[in-house]
Amino acid sequence: MMRDVQPTASHFIDGRYVDDTAGRLIESIYPATGDVVARLFSATPSIIEQALASAVRAQKEWGALKPVVRGRVLRKAADIVRARNRELSEIETLDTGKPIQETLVADAASGADALEYFAGLAATMTGETIPLGGDFVYTIREPLGVCVGIGAWNYPTQIACWKAAPALAAGNAMIFKPSEVTPLGALKLAEILMEAGAPAGLFNVVQGYGDVGAALVTDPRVAKVSLTGSVATGKKVYAAAAAGMRHVTMELGGKSPLIVFDDADIDSAVSAAINANFYSSGQVCSNGTRVFVHDAIRPNFLDKLVQRTANAVIGDPLDEATHVGPLVSEAQRNKVLGYIETGKAEGAKLLIGGRVPPSQNSGFYVEPTVFADVTDDMTIAREEIFGPVMAVLGFSDEADVIARANATEYGLAAGVFTADLARAHRVIGQLEAGTCWINTYNITPVEAPFGGVKLSGVGRENSRAALDHYSQIKSVYVATGPVAAAY
């Protein structure tokens, strides 16, 4: 039986569920069937005001606590998330359509890792003392204040945790607006943080379309905005934040290269290419969607790739045997099918997939799809598709493939497969990307900084670096002698 995921109300503000049915309707649709599983309402100005006012109040209380006490709350939240992993994973699957096989390990679980990691770091945020020969300066890392998190629909629970954990550890409050396509997971995080002992108002969730995000970003009480989404939205949100000189973290799109040299372990490289393109039906910002394979091994690589892709189990996301679920929405499926048609029309060779699977007559499914003979100028090699569509390109020369890998306005991620470690480091050193892998792909532990260069974003999530992006330095000069003046 399918779990009932209709929340008590649309928004979670000041420690409780609230609603205002005057807001525009938001429907959470289960992408595997097209059924509406929850109905919510977009935030009205009154809801947004409640969220801001309570966050300002809660931040003052929270920011004044000893950091180790803040850490204790986050640690408890991590434990609750882990204890409720099955329930949270099922909600995530119903909200996004991602297979339960994935959501059980990659969503709430990754969120719990972030809560646990930043719980531990909270009390380690210290300043420094700078001696000046008698006088001295000390610095304090202070919270920014009220931060706004805006999420995309591909990893709704993980994104909420990746933003909330460092923000709260550093003493901030957060107002989180999920994508209207996936409104459910963040509400559960809000419940759990309350249960763990966070003050009411510290983590508020408001639902809404882009206009709600825009209203939050421009409010004078907001000190920082962290967005995960497309480059187009990122440019708008960055510009709106700049008007108030707000801090930003932008986690945006990519068209990342995965380069496989002729000495690579081919089976591992094929595994990585599969994970880098078909996990979450390809709806992952860091995906390695341009797979450059050395000419000497390309036929062998493609044979293995096609054979293994044919083994993918496409089906009911709630069945633990399913590898590939639907895309998040009908609009996203149609967009992906459009790119597949463009790929064929521009002369790429379709090796496998490319269709709505015949066995799935409801839901927003697209088969895992591999195109070979792709050239750099083709649309499918240049634009972020955000679906299960892999483009395989050939190369023979190291310098040439580096130049081609970098010939994009994006710079989120990159991967290199080779047995020659000197080459691996040499190549990675020249790739314009913020997050790189050698002989693996798309592993994003909370301990490692994650983020992009060029149009893929600014700032870093995860790791100690995230705390820098949620705090600011106060510098205090201390005089120890009398003050002289010229007159």
**Known binding positions:** 28-29, 95, 151-153, 177-180, 253, 285, 384, 454, 457
The catalytically annotated residue of 116, 224, 255, 285 is 285
Closer of 183 and 201 to ligand NDP (Cβ)? 183
Binding mask 267-306 for ligand NDP (x = CB under 6 A): ------------------x---------------------
Question: Exposed, middle or buried by CB within 10 Å (0-12, 13-18, 19+), for 129?
Answer: exposed
Q: What is the dihedral of CA 365, 367, 370, 375, to 10 degrees?
A: -30
Dihedral sign, CA of 464, 466, 471, 475? positive
Is 76 known to be catalytic?
A: no
Size of the site for ligand NDP (CB under 6 A): 27
- Residue 387: DSSP 8-state: S
DSSP output for 236-255:
HHHHHHHHTT-EEEEE----
Instruction: Residue 94: name the closest of 107, 82, 113, 83 by CA.
Output: 107
Cα angle for residues 202, 114, 89 (degrees, 5° grid)? 90
In the complex, what is the shortest distance from the CB of residue 152 to ligand NDP, in angstroms, rounded to a whole number?
A: 3
Nearest alpha carbon to residue 26 among 279, 205, 249, 159: 205
User: Counting contacts by CB under 6 A, is residue 89 touching ligand NDP?
Assistant: no
Indicate which residue of 116, 191, 367, 461 is catalytic. 461
Task: Give the per-residue contact string, 166-195, with ligand NDP (x = CB under 6 A; - = no).
Answer: -----------x-xx---------------
Tell me how far, at minimum, the Cβ of 35 lies from ligand NDP, in Å. 20
Q: Which is nearer to ligand NDP, 18 or 150 (CB)?
A: 150
Which listed residue (163, 188, 224, 255) is catalytic?
Answer: 163
Would you list the DSSP string of 191-221?
HHHHHTTPPTTSEEE----HHHHHHHHT-TT
Among 43, 55, 78, 217, binds ligand NDP (CB under 6 A): 217
- Determine contact, residues 436/428, Cβ cutoff 8 Å: yes
Q: Exactly one of 72, 209, 342, 398 binds ligand NDP (CB under 6 A); which one?
A: 209
- Rule CB under 6 A: is residue 41 a binding residue for ligand NDP? no
Q: Is 213 in the site for ligand NDP (CB under 6 A)?
A: yes
Select from 27-35, 63-71, 103-111, 147-155 the region that touches ligand NDP (CB under 6 A).
Answer: 147-155
Residue with tokens 């801001």: 52
- Is 233 a binding residue for ligand NDP by CB under 6 A? The answer is yes
Q: In Å, what is the CA distance from 226 to each residue of 162, 167, 252, 478?
A: 10, 10, 11, 35
Site for ligand NDP contains 153 (CB under 6 A):
yes
Exposed e or buried b per residue across 238-260, where buried means at least 16 C-beta atoms within 10 angstroms of its C-beta: bebbeeeebbbbbbbbbbbbbbb
> Which residues line the annotated binding site for NAD(+)?
151-153, 177-180, 253, 285, 384
Is residue 62 within 8 A of residue 202, CB to CB? The reply is yes
Active site residue 285: yes
DSSP H helices, 279-356, are 298-310, 330-345
Q: Should residue 250 be labelled a site residue for ligand NDP when binding is judged by CB under 6 A? A: no
Residue 230 near ligand NDP by CB under 6 A = yes
Told to check if 236 binds ligand NDP by CB under 6 A, we report yes
Which of the residues 161, 251, 255, 367 is marked catalytic?
Answer: 251
Q: Is 339 helix (H, G, I), strand (E, B) or coil?
A: helix
**Per-residue b or e along 299-326, where b marks 16 or more CB atoms closer than 10 Å to that residue's CB:** eebbebbeebbeebebbbbbeeebbbbb
| 375/87 Cα distance (integer angstroms) | 44
Q: Is 432 a catalytic residue?
A: no
Query: Which stretch, 5-13, 192-200, 211-219, 265-273, contacts ligand NDP (CB under 6 A)?
Result: 211-219
> Starting from the edge strand earliest in sequence, which strands make up the sheet with 173-177, in order?
16-18, 11-13, 203-205, 173-177, 146-150, 222-228, 247-251, 457-458
Decide whether 213 or 343 has the Cβ nearer to ligand NDP.
213
Q: Contact between 327 and ligand NDP (CB under 6 A)?
A: no
Residue 25 token pair:
């309707």
102, 367, 384, 461: residue in contact with ligand NDP (rule CB under 6 A): 384
Q: Closest separation between CB of residue 454 and ligand NDP, Å? A: 13
- Considering only 150, 276, 337, 467, the residue that binds ligand NDP (CB under 6 A) is 150
Helices 85-96 and 108-122 pack at an angle, to 10 degrees, of 120
Give the residue nearest to ligand NDP (CB).
213
Q: Is 251 a catalytic residue?
A: yes
Residue 253 found at the interface with ligand NDP (CB under 6 A): yes
Site for ligand NDP contains 410 (CB under 6 A): no
Residues engaged in binding ligand NDP (CB under 6 A): 150-154, 177, 179-180, 209-210, 213-214, 217, 227-230, 233, 236-237, 252-253, 285, 332, 335, 384, 386
Catalytic residues: 163, 251, 285, 461
